[in-house]
């Protein structure tokens, strides 16, 4: 009964991360008749509203095998979506569940539904949270049979593997032992009772008692711990003892005191596996930081197959339980305190805000978030230790030099919080504290801060909402740099809510097919002959309202939805190009705008190739438009990306040219084909001689660099005449045609052909 090593391809486990006792092998598990043992993979459901957590988890456990089988991942982004999936897929092994999603208790409510309503007892649940100060109540962890509880920051790849491996093993054994329901109920009861205990000693006593219950005998033996790095690794400490060995509790377990028991415990810890020999049964439980535990229990009779399986599951539960006791204790101690600075943390600030908002003092209170400017650069340049010392120094100065009645907290990263009477929470007074350099590690460091403030008398909502509003004000202050601070206003809240509402409406509208393309013809100025068209994205809602692209495209970019929308636009435009060519317009070019977010996507070039292949559009008649500001960012990366795009055969135009600050030397390096004069300069060319100078400069620049030039926004014949006289060859605008539907475009082209023929 030795410890099973991880299969090939799995992470190497450290001395404090590996799992515990293995009583059975794969053959026995398969022979149990459990349907799960016949599956090709373990199914892991990741539930989190952060897409990065899904990709990070999948990447961390990529190509990992557990118990000889690979992992299969399912994904849900809300508690409701997860419940629907669980109702449809009952054979999921492990649930990696975010605690806080659409509601602060969404995770725990889902756990309750899983256990009480869906009756899924075998499913193993690992809670995760991205908020270090957030800790579920002990009775919640105890009552819902939660396997593990971790903050996301502490889940390294090895620890994530360890937690999932323990959960998978627990799930496997629960399914394999379904016929022994009474024994499983004892294990669940034991786990719940152990979780109800406080402190390692109480849990250790509970382990001996519950093990005795499973084995059908009186509690006896010891549970001891070896703490590595203490200078005497050969000395064991007895945490709990029962029966004839009760006198050993709290003492060192040495060969002189009890040679047989010391030998059993020593072999168990050395092998990191449970043993059964010489009248003793031992169980091994790995702990954190080298704190390995071993339970040694007198046991004379042989161990049956079911007992071995039950003890295996029990050992997994205990290993997690011992870990959770220390974790939950630590979380409870740190629930309201920032560990670095000793200041109150976000959780405590929310409590204080809720109390203020519910009391008579709300009208006199102000909340301020204090964000250190350029702290990341300081951290990178001088090191994380220096950064930590700086944060501690900032916290001390805020606490010691501001009004003592104010509450000062650190709510995360480099953001502090000041809360209290509005007369004392003054931006000028807070920022004045940063005029004096901080003396850190033998050197002076000058730090500035930006503030976002909320007057609670103007706030509607909870304490958590007040923090969100202050964060909105802080972001506005950073973007506008208005005296280093900004107060939240109701109009800002309305603006944010409107953006969120539109984002959801856009996502739904895209799925319902409310987006469509219109095509504006592009013509040769000399002959007014159409040579191509620009595909323009439009949105008409269910009630018939048209939403301007200047409103919804920035939201699509901010939300990332522009990547999917952009791919759809490209395919629609290329398909329309193919239809136009089939109608006889063989020398027709289709121009498609590409968003900065879309262009930066690592799969953009692959997406472009797929669109060309799927539609059959000839790349030499396809043009992609990028903005001038996009063309100027990250020059070296852009040059390579454009080269990849050019290798597909499509051409590149720089849109809105003249509105940015292009470097001519950089422009020469870019593999572009056309410059597009911004409509602003086209409008100005009829105003004065100076108004046409920029347009003339762009035309001349294009001629010198061998680039085609097109003017957009041409609305009257006078503008067209001036552009012709300046030598601009191409144009588009209302003078020639407004954006047209595909049918109207085909009709317009037909009319143009008749005019030319006449």
How does pLDDT run across 233-262, given as a tens digit for each residue? Answer: 567 888 889 988 889 888 888 888 888 888
Same domain, 144 and 263: no
Indicate the residue among 141, 176, 211 that finishes a domain: 176
Contact indicator for 506, 561 with CB cutoff of 8 Å: yes
Check pLDDT > 90 for residue 208: no
The predicted pLDDT at position 580 comes to: 95
**pLDDT-derived band of residue 159, with 50, 70 and 90 as boundaries?**
confident
Same domain, 290 and 359: no
Contact indicator for 65, 209 with CB cutoff of 8 Å: no
Segment 333-337 shows an average pLDDT of 70
CA distance 627 to 638: 12
Indicate the residue among 469, 488, 507 that finishes a domain: 488
Angle at 708 between CA 705 and CA 713, to 5 degrees: 125
Q: Residue 271: which CATH number?
A: 3.30.450.40
> How far lies 507's CA from each of 123, 206, 292, 717, in Å?
33, 52, 51, 41
Record the tokens describing residue 27, joined without a space: 């053959």
CA distance 386 to 429: 26
- Summarised one tens digit per residue, pLDDT across range 80-97 is 999 999 999 878 999 999
Same domain, 296 and 370: no
Segment 20-45 shows an average pLDDT of 49
Residue 8: φ, ψ to 5°: -55, 135
Q: Please tell me which residue, 305 or 541, carries the higher pLDDT value.
A: 541
- Summarised one tens digit per residue, pLDDT across range 690-723 is 657 888 888 998 898 899 999 999 999 999 999 9
Same domain, 724 and 576: yes
Helix (H, G, I), strand (E, B) or coil at 415: strand
Check pLDDT > 90 for residue 559: no
**pLDDT-derived band of residue 14, with 50, 70 and 90 as boundaries?**
very low
Same domain, 701 and 601: yes
Q: Please tell me which residue, 150 or 548, carries the higher pLDDT value.
A: 548
Angle at 566 between CA 577 and CA 678, to 5 degrees: 80
Supply the mean pLDDT for the chain.
82
Query: What is the SS3 string spanning 237-256?
Result: EEEEEEHHHHHHCCCEECCC
Residue 23 lies in a domain: no
Contact indicator for 57, 2 with CB cutoff of 8 Å: no
Same domain, 188 and 321: yes
Residue 28 lies in a domain: no
CA distance 592 to 598: 12
Inter-axis angle of helices 562-582 and 549-559, nearest 10: 120
The proportion of the chain whose per-residue pLDDT surpasses 70, expressed as a percent, equals: 82
Residues in a beta bridge with 485: 451
Same domain, 194 and 215: yes
Q: How far is residue 190 CA from its own chain's centroid?
A: 35
Residue 307 lies in a domain: yes
- Summarised one tens digit per residue, pLDDT across range 442-492 is 888 899 999 999 998 888 788 888 998 898 889 888 877 656 898 888 767
CA distance 105 to 732: 55
Record the tokens describing residue 708, joined without a space: 């085609």
> How far lies 24's CA from each of 7, 32, 309, 383, 595, in Å?
16, 11, 7, 48, 57
CA distance 35 to 10: 24
Segment 192-217 shows an average pLDDT of 74
Find, among 507, 512, 509, 460, the residue nearest to 488 by Cα.
460
Same domain, 264 and 377: no
Q: Please tell me which residue, 335 or 381, carries the higher pLDDT value.
A: 381
Same domain, 597 and 716: yes
Same domain, 480 and 610: no
Q: Residue 640: which CATH number?
A: 3.20.20.450
The predicted pLDDT at position 621 comes to: 97
- Greatest mean pLDDT range, 322-326, 622-626, 640-644, 703-707: 622-626
Same domain, 730 and 750: yes
Find, among 702, 607, 610, the residue nearest to 654 by Cα.
702
**DSSP secondary structure letters along 78-99:** SHHHHHHHHHH-TT--EEEEES
The proportion of the chain whose per-residue pLDDT surpasses 90, expressed as a percent, equals: 35
Check pLDDT > 80 for residue 195: no
Residue 111 lies in a domain: yes
Q: Which domain range does residue 686 map to?
A: 518-537+560-757
Contact indicator for 515, 564 with CB cutoff of 8 Å: no
> How far lies 676's CA from each of 235, 452, 655, 669, 720, in Å?
79, 40, 5, 18, 15
The owner of tokens 């971790």 is: 150
Same domain, 199 and 113: no
**pLDDT-derived band of residue 730, with 50, 70 and 90 as boundaries?**
very high
Residue 341 lies in a domain: no
Looking from the CA of 499 toward its CB, the CA atoms found within 13 Å total 14
Among 149-158, 192-201, 471-480, the range scoring the smallest mean pLDDT is 192-201
The predicted pLDDT at position 329 comes to: 54
The predicted pLDDT at position 25 comes to: 36
- Radius of gyration for the chain, computed over Cα atoms and rounded to the nearest angstrom: 34
The predicted pLDDT at position 4 comes to: 31
Residue 260 lies in a domain: yes
The predicted pLDDT at position 272 comes to: 82
Q: Residue 419: which CATH number?
A: 3.30.70.270
- Summarised one tens digit per residue, pLDDT across range 571-619 is 999 999 999 999 999 999 999 999 888 988 889 999 999 999 999 999 9
The predicted pLDDT at position 614 comes to: 95
Helix (H, G, I), strand (E, B) or coil at 277: strand
Find, among 312, 311, 265, the residue nearest to 292 by Cα.
265
Check pLDDT > 90 for residue 516: yes
Check pLDDT > 70 for residue 53: yes
The predicted pLDDT at position 488 comes to: 86
Residue 547 lies in a domain: no
Q: How far is residue 281 CA from its own chain's centroid?
A: 45
Q: Residue 147: which CATH number?
A: 3.40.50.2300
Q: How far is residue 283 CA from its own chain's centroid?
A: 38
Segment 110-129 shows an average pLDDT of 87
Number of domains in the chain: 4
Helix H or strand E segment including 115: none
Segment 732-737 shows an average pLDDT of 95
Indicate the residue among 138, 161, 176 that finishes a domain: 176
Residue 38 lies in a domain: yes
């Amino acid at each position: 009964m030795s410890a099973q090593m991880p299969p090939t391809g799995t992470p190497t486990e450290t001395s404090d991360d590996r799992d515990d006792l293995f009583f059975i092998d794969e053959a026995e598990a398969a022979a149990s008749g459990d349907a799960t043992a016949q599956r090709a993979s373990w199914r892991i459901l990741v539930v989190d509203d952060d897409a990065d957590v899904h990709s990070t988890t999948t990447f961390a456990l990529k190509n990992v095998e557990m118990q000889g089988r690979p992992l299969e991942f399912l994904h849900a982004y809300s508690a409701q979506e997860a419940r629907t999936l669980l109702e449809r897929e009952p054979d999921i092994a492990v649930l990696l569940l975010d605690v806080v999603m659409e509601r602060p208790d969404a995770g725990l409510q889902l756990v309750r539904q899983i256990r009480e309503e869906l009756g899924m007892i075998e499913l193993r649940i690992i809670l995760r949270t991205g908020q270090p100060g957030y800790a579920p109540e002990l009775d919640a962890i105890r009552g819902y049979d939660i396997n593990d509880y971790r903050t996301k920051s502490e889940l390294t790849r090895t620890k994530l593997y360890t937690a999932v491996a323990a959960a998978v093993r627990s799930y496997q054994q629960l399914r394999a032992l379904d016929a022994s329901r009474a024994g499983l109920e004892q294990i669940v009861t034991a786990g719940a009772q152990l979780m109800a205990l406080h402190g390692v000693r109480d849990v250790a006593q509970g382990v001996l008692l519950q093990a005795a219950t499973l084995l059908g005998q009186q509690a006896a033996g010891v549970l001891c711990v070896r703490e590595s790095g203490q200078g005497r690794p050969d000395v064991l400490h007895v945490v709990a003892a029962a029966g004839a060995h009760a006198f050993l509790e709290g003492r060192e377990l040495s060969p002189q005191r009890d040679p047989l028991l010391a030998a059993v415990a020593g072999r168990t810890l050395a092998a990191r596996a449970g043993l059964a020999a010489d009248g003793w049964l031992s169980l091994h439980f790995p702990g954190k930081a080298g704190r390995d535990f071993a339970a040694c229990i007198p046991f004379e009779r042989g161990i049956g197959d079911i007992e071995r399986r039950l003890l295996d599951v029990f050992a997994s539960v205990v290993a997690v339980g011992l870990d959770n006791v220390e974790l939950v204790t630590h979380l409870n101690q740190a629930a309201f305190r920032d560990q670095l600075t000793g200041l109150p943390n976000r959780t405590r600030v929310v409590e204080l805000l809720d109390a203020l908002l519910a009391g008579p003092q709300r009208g006199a209170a102000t909340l301020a978030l204090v964000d250190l400017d350029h702290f990341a650069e300081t951290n990178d340049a001088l090191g994380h230790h220096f950064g930590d010392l700086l944060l501690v120094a900032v916290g001390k100065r805020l606490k010691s030099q501001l009004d003592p009645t104010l509450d000062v907290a650190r709510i995360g990263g480099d953001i502090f919080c000041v809360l209290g009477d509005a007369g004392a929470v003054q931006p000028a007074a807070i920022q004045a504290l940063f005029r004096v350099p901080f003396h850190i590690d033998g050197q002076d460091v000058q730090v500035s801060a930006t503030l976002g403030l909320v007057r609670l008398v103007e706030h509607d909502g909870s304490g958590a909402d007040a923090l969100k509003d202050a964060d909105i004000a802080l972001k506005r202050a950073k973007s506008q740099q208005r005296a280093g601070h900004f107060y939240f206003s109701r109009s800002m809240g309305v603006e944010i809510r409107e953006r969120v509402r539109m984002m959801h409406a856009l996502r739904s509208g895209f799925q319902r097919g409310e987006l469509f393309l219109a095509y504006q013809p592009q013509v040769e100025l000399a002959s007014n002959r159409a040579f191509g068209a620009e595909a323009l994205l439009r949105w008409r809602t269910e009630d018939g309202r048209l939403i301007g692209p200047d409103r919804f495209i920035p939201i699509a970019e901010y939300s990332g939805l522009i990547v999917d929308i952009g791919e759809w636009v490209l395919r629609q435009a290329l398909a329309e190009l193919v239809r136009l060519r089939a109608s006889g317009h063989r020398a027709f070019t289709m121009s498609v705008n590409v968003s900065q977010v879309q262009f930066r996507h690592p799969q953009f070039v692959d997406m472009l190739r797929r669109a060309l292949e799927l539609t059959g559009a000839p790349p030499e008649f396809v043009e992609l438009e990028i903005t001038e500001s996009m063309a100027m960012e990250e020059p070296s990366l852009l040059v390579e990306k454009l080269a990849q795009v050019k290798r597909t055969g499509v051409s590149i135009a720089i849109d809105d040219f003249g509105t940015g600050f292009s470097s001519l030397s950089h422009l020469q390096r870019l593999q572009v084909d056309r410059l597009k004069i911004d409509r602003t300069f086209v409008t100005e060319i009829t105003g004065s001689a100076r108004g046409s100078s920029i347009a003339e400069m762009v035309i001349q620049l294009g001629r010198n660099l061998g680039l085609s030039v097109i003017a957009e926004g041409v609305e009257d014949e006078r503008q067209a005449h001036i552009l012709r006289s300046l030598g601009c060859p191409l144009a588009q605008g209302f003078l020639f045609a407004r954006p047209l539907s595909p049918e109207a475009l085909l009709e317009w082209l037909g009319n143009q052909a008749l005019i030319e023929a006449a």
